[in-house]
Structure 1
Amino acid sequence: MNRRTFLRGACGVMLGLPLLESLRPRDAKADASAPRRFIAFFMCNGVNMAKFFPSTQYGALTAASFGATRAIAPLAAYRDKLLIPRGIHMVPRGYGFDPSAGDDHAKGMGCKLTAQPLVQGSQYAAGISLDQFIANKINPPGTPALTLMVGAKTPNVRGHISYTGSEQPVSGENNPWLAYRDLVGGTDLEEEAIVRLTKRRESVLDLVSVEYEALLKKKLSKADRDKLDMHFQTVRDLEVGMGGSGIIPRELSPERAAEIEGIDPDTVAFDAEFKKVGRMQMDILALAIATGATRSATLQWGSGAAGPIFKWDGMAHEYNHHKLSHGNTRDDDTGSAVDGYEEMLFDIDRWFVGEYVYLLDRLAGYEEGGATVLDNSAVVFMNELSDGLRHDFRDLPYIIAGGCGGYFKTGQYIKVTRQSNTVQDKDAPHNKLLTTLANAVGCTEEGGGPITNFGSFGQPGELDDLKA
């Protein structure tokens, strides 16, 4: 059911609102259930496997699981809301083990959310991705999954993780202005609104002020008023972050070729913008999820076999992420070795985990039905590969935050393979995780009943060890 509520302001502007308990019908209040959501937080090029997973044994996550030598250390405060599975391998398998077009980087991108082979010729995936499948099932009719990106887009399979169908990739939006404009009005946004939001530096909040004042006159609980205050402050912070009182940045980076109204699409993908744009995209994603604009989303950081040169937050690297994943000065490994590249990868992994925490903080800030939006979501941290140097498709680094309304166990580190070594491809294929996630958010088969098998590779069924 679409429970999205809007403030409909001037010039076609619409601002979605979080779930307000005071405005729900009485029979709906008796139903404590809240909508469940799926979010993929996707990185490329693998991780430093020696320092990624918890340092403690399988079972309950403790403070010791997040020691300073672990990339997941920034997640310590969320340990009771995390589920970390171990031993999952991708299907179709890499190394040419299963029939599919494309190299291991291509498979790591195109197969991760589809569990489908890549098609000869186009090398795009042969089926729908989980995010769009979920959107088709539980979003309002005609509302696709939100597909966002940070950084440069590669115009082939390595630049896409989302698919509406076979050989139908969805290009992630890497321009926060365009993503935000779509969220607050889309094609209904009138030209006058664009002028007021750009040249006049007005806020979306200005354009819905009359409706907002009318809303405040209703009988709202203190909790709902606090929720609205936080929501509107988030919108204001997002607009200020984009620059000025409106949503257009006033200060442009020196690399930009020209200063134009709006975020320049030719520079938004620059490495220098990577962190700033990423934070904006996460703010937009959290707003979209919390207001019901969508219940399924992906955020893709960079493209496979690429990525930025990290020169912020204490990092001063000389080579891009892909080169460092191979410890080599050239993408094709014909260069010289990069001394200390393992520690550089660890720093990158820990930085990404910190950004993941930023998104979790945003989602946890929205309360609904005695829980939070995060509690009712599955926010999945995932990567193109495990060991980037070896292009390994086994023992993939996954983290699930939020119990998705109680569907998942939380506070646990769980070995899901029955093999002694987690670097394996005998059981626990990743399509079973995709199936589990589809059921967690409430998807059903056409004739009713739970989803039995997502994708055309792997094995039917769920990863039962992850379920509460």
Structure 2
Amino acid sequence: MLGLPFLESLRARDAKAGPEAAPRRFIAFFMCNGVNMDRFFPSTRYGALTDASFGANRAIAPLASYRDKLLIPRGIHMAPRGFGWDPSAGDDHAKGVGCKLTAQPLVQGSQYAAGISLDQFIANKLNPPGTPALTLMVGARVPNVRGHISYSGSEQPVSGENNPWLAYQDLIGVTNVEDEALERLTKRRQSVLDLVGAEYEGLLKKKLSKADRDKLEMHFQTVRDLEVGMGNAGLIPRELPPTRAAEIEAVDPATVSFDAEFKTIGRMQMDILALAIATRATRSATLQWGSGAYGPIFKWDGMNHEYNHHKLSHGNTKDDDSGSVVDGYEEMLFDIDRWFIGEYVYLLDRLAGYDEGGTSVLDNSAVVFMNELSNGKIHDFRDLPYIIAGSCGGYFKTGQYIKVTRQQNTLQDEDAPHNKLLTTLANAVGCTAEGGGPIENFGAFGEPGEFDELKA
């Protein structure tokens, strides 16, 4: 069944009941290989974010229009710590991915995380029974810990779907429709909206407010745009001669992971993610861009790089640093960081476009930009780049740049472990402990409690 956005006009009217509170959601926007730390964070002092915080020489410049909806914490280190300072299997790339949403060590042998990730924990607590978090991927996924940030339990990685057509089918429930309808949809590329046309027309005939009518039309236009975009990208099978069709049938559909499709697939995935969150199909979702110690060769939007993201993060022509120095790699990393921030803005735009009775889906979410590392050249786990967009229903203090460590230098591992951020996020969306109280400690490393300084 095609999910719908929240329509205020169709909400059950009860004179004694107040307005229904919109659900609070968590979204992880995860990229790999670290950032250019010299040009990532605001150049202004801690406190209120200003226009100057988003200068042209900052990777976060594309976020300027969202200034009042952002919270940028500074000084967070990962737990377990890297550099072999805490007991865990795996190298620093493996830990930067596998421990990011779990705060658990990696298990010897499999090198997968020893516990559940935050997204699946939230889904278990808040989603309908049996509904996991939405787990999406962009680009190539390596078949090990570096390709998985989501875990349903100890050594139970959840593979992100990197084919948006499959993710979309699953979201709208097409996998449950009759074979005849599915054949119409996939072979003739008939719109999903055609399959639910009667329901759509019926809704339009109801007494909807202008806001709800606009919302419904935006929702269905998004569905239509997704289908058109997928068709243009070749993701929906076309009617070809039988011989050629058989050749296509025999190949692996993982061609969606090609570098050339990175941006196109990424935007489709973000449209699907926003649709899932807005229609309340899930309260948590992750979007992983590439795999740790890997990543695409950026040849779009003004970039024409020769080496992939990981090599550039080391400034070397070889992944193991045995090659020569790449001239100008710092500027290339800055361009990559700024590009990812631009895609983050694209997701925020989609979420902000869904109204929930005076607030937006973005306002009722915590959309967290995160990276496996800070300085990728040395695999540093300290002073991690985090950005939280949305107040999560008023839980977070937005429009602020806040130092959360007590240490003078933010490049530290004495306090402010990242598991405290995971705990804060779990409580922000409304998770509770078994006894009904707040979550006290998420993960196996770090410290108990929340980052109170981030709360409104």
TM-score, with structure 2 as normaliser: 0.96
Q: 1:426 to 1:263 in 2, by over 3 A?
A: farther
Q: 2:119 aligns with which of 122, 131, 145?
A: 131
1:195 aligns with 2:174: no
Say if 1:346 and 1:249 are closer, same or farther in 2 by CA, change over 3 A: farther
Gaps of 5+ in 2: none
Distance 1:282 1:203, change over 3 A: same
Residue 435 of structure 1 pairs with residue 390 of structure 2: no
Maintained 8 Å contact 1:443/1:450: yes
1:32 to partner: Cα distance: 4.4
Q: Match of 2:378, SS?
A: coil
* Equivalence for 1:448: 436
Q: 1:179 aligns with which of 163, 167, 191?
A: 167
Taking a change above 3 Å as real, the CA distance of residues 244 and 351 of structure 1, as seen in their structure-2 partners, is closer
| Match for residue 326 of structure 1 among 302, 314, 328 | 314
Counterpart of 2:150 in structure 1 is 162
Q: Distance in 2 between matches of 1:126 and 1:438?
A: 19
2:107 is aligned, of 102, 109, 119, to: 119
Cα distance between partner residues in 2 of 1:282 and 1:216: 27
| CA distance, structure 1, for counterparts of residue 34 and residue 143 of structure 2 | 21
Cα displacement (A) at 1:261: 7.3
Match of 1:31 in 2: 19
Distance 1:59 1:115, change over 3 A: same
Q: Structure 1 residue aligned with 2:408, among 415, 420, 423?
A: 420
Per-residue deviation, residues 315-342 of structure 1 (Å, max 9, x unmatched): 0000000000000000000000000000
Q: How far 1:353 sits from its partner (Å)?
A: 0.2
Equivalent residue, structure 2, for 1:100:
88
Over the aligned positions, Cα root-mean-square deviation in angstroms equals 2.0
Does residue 392 in structure 1 map to residue 380 in structure 2?
yes
| 1:9 alignment partner in structure 2 | none
Query: Is 1:19 matched up with 2:6?
Result: yes
Contact 2:189–2:238, Cα closer than 8 Å, also in 1: no
CA contact (8 A) 1:132 1:163 kept: yes
Question: Is the CA contact 1:86–1:417 (under 8 Å) kept in the aligned structure 2?
Answer: yes
SS in 2 for 1:389: helix
SS in 2 for 1:397: coil
Deviation above 4 Å: which 4+ runs of structure 1? 244-247, 249-252, 256-259, 261-264
Question: Residues 257 and 113 of structure 1: is their aligned pair in 2 closer, same or farther, counting only changes over 3 Å?
Answer: farther
**CA deviations over 1:245-275 (Å, ceiling 9, x no partner):** 99727699xxx99974799623111101100
The 5-angstrom pairing of residues 259-274 of structure 1 reads 260=248, 265-274=253-262
1-side partners of 2:431 and 2:262: how far apart?
34
| Distance in structure 1 (CA, Å) of the matches to 2:25 and 2:173 | 22
User: How far apart are residue 435 of structure 1 and its match?
Assistant: 0.1
> Aligned match of 1:88 in 76, 79, 85?
76
1:298 counterpart SS class: strand
Cross-structure match for 2:286: 298
2:187–2:239 contact (8 Å) kept in structure 1 = no
**Take 1:200 and 1:457, find their aligned partners in 2: how far apart are those partners?**
52
Contact 2:295–2:309 (CA under 8 A) maintained in structure 1 = yes
State how far apart, in whole Å, the 2-side matches of 1:420 and 1:118 are: 31
Instruction: Tell me if the contact between 2:187 and 2:238 (Cα under 8 Å) persists in the aligned partners.
Output: no
Map 1:286-435 to 2 at 5 A: 286-435=274-423
Moved more, 35-44 or 241-250: 241-250
Query: Offset at 1:428?
Result: 0.5
Q: Return the alpha-carbon distance in structure 1 between the equivalents of residues 89 and 259 of structure 2.
A: 30
Once residues 194 and 214 of structure 2 are traced to their aligned partners in structure 1, the CA distance between those partners, rounded to angstroms, is 20
Shift of 1:187: 3.7
Distance 1:257 1:67 in 2: 51
Give the equivalent residue in structure 1 for 2:139.
Answer: 151
The verdict on how the C-alpha distance between 1:79 and 1:179 changes in structure 2, with shifts beyond 3 A counting, is same
How far apart are residue 458 of structure 1 and its match?
0.3
Give yes or no for the alignment of 1:63 onto 2:51: yes
Structure 1 residues 263 and 241: CA distance shift in structure 2, 3 A: farther
- In 1, are the aligned partners of 2:186 and 2:237 still within 8 Å (CA)? no
- Structure 1 residue 188: deviation in Å? 1.1
Once residues 279 and 125 of structure 2 are traced to their aligned partners in structure 1, the CA distance between those partners, rounded to angstroms, is 18
Measure, in 2, the Cα distance between the counterparts of 1:292 and 1:239: 20
Equivalenced residues, count: 452
Q: In 2, distance between residues paired with 1:335 and 1:412?
A: 42
CA distance in 2, matches of 1:419, 1:325: 27
Please tell me whether the aligned partners of residues 33 and 369 of structure 1 are also in contact (alpha carbons under 8 angstroms). Answer: no
Contact 1:198 1:262 survives alignment (8 Å): no
